Amino acid sequence: MVGGGSGGVPIATVRSASVRDFWTDGSISAMCELLTEINGVNIELRDELGHVLGPRSTPDGPGIERPIPGGARVFRIEVQEQPIGSVVVYPSEDGEAHDRAVRAGRLIASAAREMCSDVTELRHRVAEIDTLYQLSFLLVRGGRAKDTLEAALKSAIDVLDLDAGSIMLLPEDADGLAKGESEADLERSVAINLSEAWLDNPLPLSKDREFDRRALAGEVVFIEDLASDPRVLLPEQSVRENVRSFMCAGMVFDGRPIGVIRVYSSRRRVFTRSERRLLRSIGQSAAASIEQARLIKLRARERRTQRALRIAGAVQQRMLPVSVPTMPGIDIAARYRPSYEVGGDFYDLFLAHGRLVVVAGDVVGKGIAAGLLMSAVRATMRAYAEVSDDLEMVMRRSNEAMCRDTTVSEFATAWVGSIGKNERGERELAYVSAGHDRPALFRRGDDGSWSHELLEAGGLVAGVMAGETYPIERRALRSGDVLIVYTDGITDAQTFEGGRFGRARLVGHVAAFLGSEPAAPAAKIVEHVFWAIRQFTGLHRQADDETLVVIRVE
């Protein structure tokens, strides 16, 4: 194994793969001996060093050192492009017998090659399944991602009979490797038997970070000799670190690069297809463990956020009127349905200066930002409305406060109305609008039919331009009149096909319902409108906050 320091140790020399690794009962050697007796031409099984293996040889035995005679035919036995032995057919003066022996030797070599390849593949598959099973167990069990990565790297080094390795991770939001000759964007996760000098070197192993780029593109990169490969930027340091051969696989999850796993051998070797496949599988499992750990962390953060949103939503709901105020001759009902936990719509109902004040508004955006702005706008408008019954002043001051305290991208539509008696003792509605959807006033004619009027009013949305004026409009109210005030979430409700509920459908439903139930209370009208919206949109997700206020003159 490579030491922890940078001095290194001499390159190890070990026996390469051999036909001895597949030795069972010596049947192939026995077959060679039998054919030799039958045909009279010597056929031998030899190991990768050229030593003769007889039927009574053992996997650890020395074999018989015997030179191959001139004119002999040698049929190599290879497994995954690596020679492990050969079948040697000696020359013979009997041409016909020699031809038979050559055919037999070729078939024996082919059979041995096929058998050893199958056994090798089976062994690799068993090792791969066992390794991936252990990693899958760690993934299912959860725990720290670093522990899983350390187990993955150790498994790769042990199963592949290697000496050192490391796992390097990209930042969570990275789309790939940064350009340039620096590994500053990679963070060491785990490392085994590599020195700090090697790990802290900012230079990549290859020019233009070719090895890592190819690995993250799905290739398993392997280098037989780091010291002599022209693409390697650190050949001298590789020698000092005692890392000779190298293999690298990308850690990619769902098409997104996570990092790279790098493994090293202190001896020169060629990596087989099975070994490359195994490293790729380990890299994929390691990527899954990182993604799982990040997902767990994200879910914990999301749970905290959702809890905060629920609390914020509850606080916002408490800011809305708990109960409607009572005014003789007026029936009031309202409903607010946010599309998220925290919404941007608001409404308010309160008594001030002997009049019923009705406020409805919609701030730009959704979620927490819109909810915070909504709270500020609602509180501002209520404060001014309680100080003065001049609705123009209320809206103008609220607009100036928004222009002063918000950015250019933050604004709100708002409608403020008040119901009370005028100088003649008649009930009337006074109102101002800051770019809000026009409320509808429904009135029953002498013939029993219902008509409606959209309440027009001038005024720019609040928070855009300081100094804007908001003229007051007035309407006389009669017994039986119905006023509906709403936000655009009502009219913008959509079907899956993109169909829009719209103002025409809204007023049509209200008019039809009043035609069938002329004396319907305000609460029942609210219920009918929301039922009509749900009938229209079906299961389509609510896209915007929905607010509706219904006031009926009794």
What are the tens digits of pLDDT across the range 31-73? Answer: 999 999 999 999 999 998 999 998 888 888 888 999 999 999 9
Both 120 and 212 in one domain: the answer is no
| Cβ-proximal residues to 256 (8 Å cutoff; 6+ apart), any chain | 175
Domain-located, residue 312: no
307 within a domain of the structure (yes/no): no
427 phi and psi angles, rounded to 5 deg: -75, 135
Assess whether 169 and 282 both reside in one domain: yes
Contact 263, 211 (CB under 8 A): no
pTM above 0.85, yes or no: no
| 3-state secondary structure (DSSP) of residue 350 | strand
Give the integer Cα–Cα distance in Å for 73 and 87.
8
- Whole-angstrom distance, CA of residue 394 vs CA of residue 432: 9
221 is written with which tokens? 């990169």
Domain holding 477: CATH number?
A: 3.60.40.10
Residues 252 and 341 in one domain: no
Q: How many domains does the chain have?
A: 3
Per-residue pLDDT tens digits for 393-444: 999 999 999 899 888 788 999 999 999 998 888 999 999 999 999 999 999 9
SS3 per-residue string spanning 279-291 = HHHHHHHHHHHHH
User: Do 230 and 379 fall within a single domain?
Assistant: no
Domain-embedded: residue 136? no
Average pLDDT value for residue range 484-497 = 93
Same domain, 476 and 356: yes
Residue from 258, 246, 263 nearest 285 by CA: 258
Whether 331 and 454 share a structural domain: yes
Domain span holding position 178: 142-296
**pLDDT tens string 65-77:** 999 999 999 999 9
- Residue 134 maps to a domain: no
CA dihedral 57, 62, 68, 69 (to 10 degrees): -80
Q: Are 546 and 493 in contact (CB under 8 A)?
A: yes
DSSP string, 412-461: EEEEEEEEEE-TTS-EEEEEEEEBPPPPEEEEE-TTS-EEEEE-----PP
Residue 276 has pLDDT above 80, yes or no: yes
Let me know if residue 301 belongs to a domain: no
pLDDT digits over 252-265, tens only? 888 888 899 999 99
